[in-house]
Amino acid sequence: MASRPRRPRAAAPPRDGLARRRLPMRLLLPMLVLVALVAMLMLRGYVHSEILADHRIQPEAATDKVPEKILEGGPVIDTRSGRATSLRVPDHRLVLTFDDGPDPTWTPKVLDVLAKHHAHAVFFVTGTMASRYPELVDRMVREGHEVGLHTFNHPDLSYQSDKRIDWELSTNQLAITGAAGIRTSLFRPPYSSFADAMDDKSWPVTEYIGSRGYITVVNDTDSEDWKKPGVEEIIRRATPHDGKGAIVLMHDSGGDRRQTVQALDRFLPGLQSEGYKFENLTEALGAPSALTPVTGPELWQGKAWIFLVRVSDDITGVLVVGLAVIGALVIGRFALMLLLSGIHARRVRRRGFGWGPAVTEPVSVLVPAYNEAKCIENTVRSLTASEHPVEVIVIDDGSTDGTARIVESLGLPGVRVIRQRNAGKPAALNRGLANASHDLIVMMDGDTVFEPATVRELVQPFGDPRVGAVAGNAKVGNRDSLIGAWQHIEYVMGFNLDRRMYDVLRCMPTIPGAVGAFRRSALERVGGMSDDTLAEDTDITMALHRDGWRVVYAENARAWTEAPESVQQLWSQRYRWSYGTMQAIWKHRRALVERGPSGRFGRVGLPLVSLFMVVAPLLAPLIDVFLLYGVVFGPTQKTVVAWLGVLGIQAFCAAYAFRLDRERMSHLISLPLQQLLYRQLMYVVLLQSWITAVTGGRLRWQKLRRTGAVAAPGGPGQRRRTHHAGDRRPVA
């Protein structure tokens, strides 16, 4: 979703002091947002058992270290303060226990059945489920049931360190407190069964948990309802013999619990008629309640926890929607681009295609130059080799490196030099326009090299009198470095997919500053170039659309340009582009409600451009956030496969664009890295522009606009001389 290449014009680094002072704030905000997002995702991962989940189960071990009386004793084991005693439930009392809940579907049904038969029970809830469904925990307590700990995310505690066990207990307790305002002193270990199943691995854990003040509750009969053995079988297994009391193990979570609910509905009245009472544990034992109300900071801690979990769930929901939106946008955009660029290529490559009568009239080429001593000779010589009759006007915008003198000393026929006090690129272009003798104007950068056919190809669309401006095809010359290859891919896709699409939709947002042609009459109608925005080329293109002109793409008008070679240069170039685009969209916002061609552009072009260039990149980081989360916390394989799938689509589109442009495919090898390193840079730049626009306020907007505008004319020349950045160019 990187912004598409438009003007291959490079970076005037933003005014140093300005950039340095503001950079931390601009970075701070996205960083804070990112950290908050990641924290929320992690929290959600915890309570959904995606993080820290441990599914190992200890195999059976020897029992020689477990006291005999425990192995033969009852299911309520008290190991507090060094004790080792156990209790049984008296005859004709049944304590139903439900593990692993609460579950949003089945727990309410279980509660309903219990209420219907006036029975009480004990629910051993996990921290994860209690955090997610606190209202159910609250209802349990309100309806007279007891709640016990079943750890936070259900690991086999015999594998865990004391620290982890403490964490499991305290976080589980925190969730229960937050949900129902109580503490519990009951605990049931995960994967536990009867008291005689205690072994040398689980007994030390039981002792440790006792030392933390909890009573461990295992069971007498196991309904094994999680195996879904049928209602009859559940009842048979749960029922104790000979009117004995029992603690019965059941589950209200972890899958379809229909059989459990149905079994309860028969089991309860059946045994009640035999004289059984269904009570919670302390009622059955005749002991004081295991639940104690909590007040003060502890309660608020619990409530805060529940709140945070809820927020993280909601935010994740929003993020998932955002991810779906961005996914749909990406795929939709690719589909649209493939379709429309195919149509465009087929249309303009049809045998006998022409825009109208061949254009042979001479052309004025404007070359605004600011400190282009290194490149200007190549640029001008490539123009004089043009197959089309041209008049070359180099406008020297107050260069200090003798750019003008170099051109003059070449002594080439048909090449004029105009000097002006440094006034910025729009002013230079306007001055060139005033001095141009012809009605067709080509604009290029001082570091760009044309092919002999470029000018001719560029002006052919003017055979159609409705065409007011033409965008050429800018190519990256220095494409063998990594950053160059990435930009090469970006340019080829930008020119062969995006621009063809915009051409067909008649809403091309930008004529690249490196290679574009204009009808003088069209320029004059919209008042020439303006320095209202940092992106005067986007600004003028939008103005032409609103004036009713067609803007088209000439694929064979190739111009070779030098792309920024360092991240810093690239950053400032793209920052100006994306901020300038936002300024231009804002400047032309009234088109949205106007009539005629302006209204058409305002209602089709502007929203499209805003969506693809301004809104979509805002959501793009979600892809990386989810990619990272998925790779680290799983499902790793699915995440990687999904990412590779999207990469495949990208590669297909890129390959199609390369084929349209007849480029060698070898540079596509750097596409995977581009997606991992370059794309992020592009959207971070755009986020920065957003932040500048939103937080900067009007004043800063103004200030930045002025400084940027004067820094603009340099083009790549300036980037190579960053030490000149301190030379303030006088404001026009």
Partner 1 sequence: MTHGYPTGTGAHPEPTPSVDVPRQRTAHPAPTAPKPGRDRYLDLLRSIALVRVVVYHLFGWAWLSVLFPSMGVMFALAGSLMARSLSRPALSVIKSRVRRLLPPLWAFSAVVLPLLFVGGWNPVKDPDNGGTWGLVELIDYIVPIGAPPYPWHAGTLSGLVDDSWADQAAGPLWYLRAYLWFVVASPLLLWAFRRVPWATLLAPLGLTAIVGTGLVTIPGETGNAVTDFGVYGSCWVLGFAHQEGVLAKVPRYAAVSCATLVMAFGLWWASGHLGEDGWDLNDIPLAQATWSLGFVVILLQYSPSWRELPGPLRRWDKVITLSNNRAVTIYLWHNLLIMATVPLIDLGYRLPFMQSERASSALDSTYTMWMFFLVWPLIALAIAAFGWIEDLAARRPPRLWPNGTKRNRAGDGSGAHAPRG
- DSSP class of 676: I
Measured from the CB of residue 51, what is the shortest distance to partner 1 in angstroms? 18
Kindly state whether residue 480 participates in binding partner 1, applying the rule CB under 8 A: yes
Segment near partner 1 (CB under 8 A); pick from 43-51, 143-151, 482-490, 571-579: 482-490
CB 58 within 8 A of CB 156: yes
Per rule CB under 8 A, count of chain residues that contact partner 1: 14
> Which residues, 6+ apart, have CB-to-CB distance to 444 below 8 Å?
365, 366, 367, 379, 450, 513, 514, 515, 516, 559
The residue within the footprint of partner 1, chosen from 482, 592, 632, 665 (CB under 8 A), is 482
**Burial class of 397 by CB neighbour count within 10 A (0 to 12, 13 to 18, 19+):** buried
What token pair was written down for 330?
Answer: 């990406």
Segment near partner 1 (CB under 8 A); pick from 24-32, 300-308, 483-491, 687-695: 483-491
Nearer to partner 1, 121 or 483 (CB): 483
Kindly state whether residue 162 participates in binding partner 1, applying the rule CB under 8 A: no
- Could you give the CA distance from residue 504 to residue 471 in angstroms, rounded to a whole number? 13
- DSSP class of 161: -
Nearer to partner 1, 283 or 565 (CB): 565
Write down the residue that tokens 């094994």 correspond to.
Answer: 224
- DSSP class of 92: T
Has 251 been annotated as catalytic? yes
Stretch (H or E) spanning 183 = strand 182-184
Nearer to partner 1, 49 or 670 (CB): 670
Letter string b/e over residues 304-323, b meaning 16 or more CB atoms within 10 A of that residue's CB: ebbebbeebbebbeebeebe
Is the preceding peptide bond at 102 cis, omega within 30 degrees of 0?
yes
Measured from the CB of residue 671, what is the shortest distance to partner 1 in angstroms? 8
Segment near partner 1 (CB under 8 A); pick from 213-221, 473-481, 510-518, 538-546: 473-481
Has 99 been annotated as catalytic? yes
Q: Single out the residue of 266, 258, 222 nearest to residue 240, CA to CA.
A: 222
Kindly state whether residue 5 participates in binding partner 1, applying the rule CB under 8 A: no
Kindly state whether residue 339 participates in binding partner 1, applying the rule CB under 8 A: no
Measured from the CB of residue 669, what is the shortest distance to partner 1 in angstroms? 4
* Torsion region of 711: left, alpha or beta (phi above 0 gives left; psi -120 to 50 gives alpha): alpha
Q: Single out the residue of 192, 240, 197 nearest to residue 216, CA to CA.
A: 192
Fill in the per-residue mask, 625 to 644: x = in contact with partner 1 (CB under 8 A), - = not in contact. Answer: -----------x--------
The residue within the footprint of partner 1, chosen from 81, 161, 295, 666 (CB under 8 A), is 666
Segment near partner 1 (CB under 8 A); pick from 195-203, 359-367, 448-456, 665-673: 665-673
Kindly state whether residue 304 participates in binding partner 1, applying the rule CB under 8 A: no
Segment near partner 1 (CB under 8 A); pick from 74-82, 216-224, 492-500, 661-669: 661-669
3-state secondary structure of 441: strand
- Could you give the CA distance from residue 475 to residue 8 in angstroms, rounded to a whole number? 8
Q: How far is CA 161 from the centre of its chain?
A: 36
Segment near partner 1 (CB under 8 A); pick from 214-222, 606-614, 662-670, 682-690: 662-670
- Could you give the CA distance from residue 443 to residue 455 in angstroms, rounded to a whole number? 10
From 120, 145, 251, 588, active-site residue:
251
Write down the residue that tokens 């570091």 correspond to.
Answer: 447
- Could you give the CA distance from residue 621 to residue 682 in angstroms, rounded to a whole number? 10
Measured from the CB of residue 723, what is the shortest distance to partner 1 in angstroms? 17
Write down the residue that tokens 């049904």 correspond to.
Answer: 109
Cα 350–351–354 angle (5° rounding)? 80
Q: Single out the residue of 184, 167, 191 nearest to residue 60, CA to CA.
A: 191
Can you give 288-344 as a three-state secondary structure string?
Answer: CCCEEECCCHHHHHHHHHHHHHHHHHHHHHHHHHHHHHHHHHHHHHHHHHHHHHHHH
Supply the angle between the helices 636-660 and 297-349 in degrees, to the nearest 10.
20
Measured from the CB of residue 577, what is the shortest distance to partner 1 in angstroms? 23
CB 447 within 8 A of CB 528: no
Measured from the CB of residue 484, what is the shortest distance to partner 1 in angstroms? 7
Measured from the CB of residue 386, what is the shortest distance to partner 1 in angstroms? 31
> Which residues, 6+ apart, have CB-to-CB distance to 426 below 8 Å?
528, 529, 530, 531, 536, 709, 712
Measured from the CB of residue 9, what is the shortest distance to partner 1 in angstroms? 22
Measured from the CB of residue 207, what is the shortest distance to partner 1 in angstroms? 23
Kindly state whether residue 650 participates in binding partner 1, applying the rule CB under 8 A: no
Fill in the per-residue mask, 484 to 523: x = in contact with partner 1 (CB under 8 A), - = not in contact. Answer: xxx-------------------------------------
Kindly state whether residue 477 participates in binding partner 1, applying the rule CB under 8 A: no
Measured from the CB of residue 656, what is the shortest distance to partner 1 in angstroms? 20
* Torsion region of 638: left, alpha or beta (phi above 0 gives left; psi -120 to 50 gives alpha): alpha
The residue within the footprint of partner 1, chosen from 669, 695, 728, 731 (CB under 8 A), is 669
Please name every residue paired with 364 in a beta bridge, in sequence order, or none if there are none: 391, 441
Kindly state whether residue 479 participates in binding partner 1, applying the rule CB under 8 A: yes
Kindly state whether residue 358 participates in binding partner 1, applying the rule CB under 8 A: no
Fill in the per-residue mask, 201 to 240: x = in contact with partner 1 (CB under 8 A), - = not in contact. Answer: ----------------------------------------
What token pair was written down for 380?
Answer: 């001008």
Kindly state whether residue 564 participates in binding partner 1, applying the rule CB under 8 A: no
Kindly state whether residue 272 participates in binding partner 1, applying the rule CB under 8 A: no
The residue within the footprint of partner 1, chosen from 4, 44, 545, 667 (CB under 8 A), is 667
Fill in the per-residue mask, 431 to 470: x = in contact with partner 1 (CB under 8 A), - = not in contact. Answer: ----------------------------------------
Segment near partner 1 (CB under 8 A); pick from 24-32, 478-486, 549-557, 686-694: 478-486
Kindly state whether residue 670 participates in binding partner 1, applying the rule CB under 8 A: yes
Nearer to partner 1, 518 or 643 (CB): 643
The residue within the footprint of partner 1, chosen from 265, 672, 680, 700 (CB under 8 A), is 672
Q: Look up residue 384 and give its amino acid.
A: T
Nearer to partner 1, 601 or 658 (CB): 658
Measured from the CB of residue 673, what is the shortest distance to partner 1 in angstroms? 5
Nearer to partner 1, 640 or 731 (CB): 640
Measured from the CB of residue 672, what is the shortest distance to partner 1 in angstroms? 7
What token pair was written down for 7?
Answer: 């003007």
Q: Single out the residue of 423, 443, 329 nearest to residue 383, CA to CA.
A: 443
From 99, 252, 397, 531, active-site residue:
99
Q: Please list every residue from 408 through 427 that binds partner 1, using CB under 8 A.
A: none
Q: Would you tell me which residues interact with partner 1 (CB under 8 A)?
A: 479-482, 484-486, 636, 666-667, 669-670, 672-673
**Catalytic residue set:** 99, 251
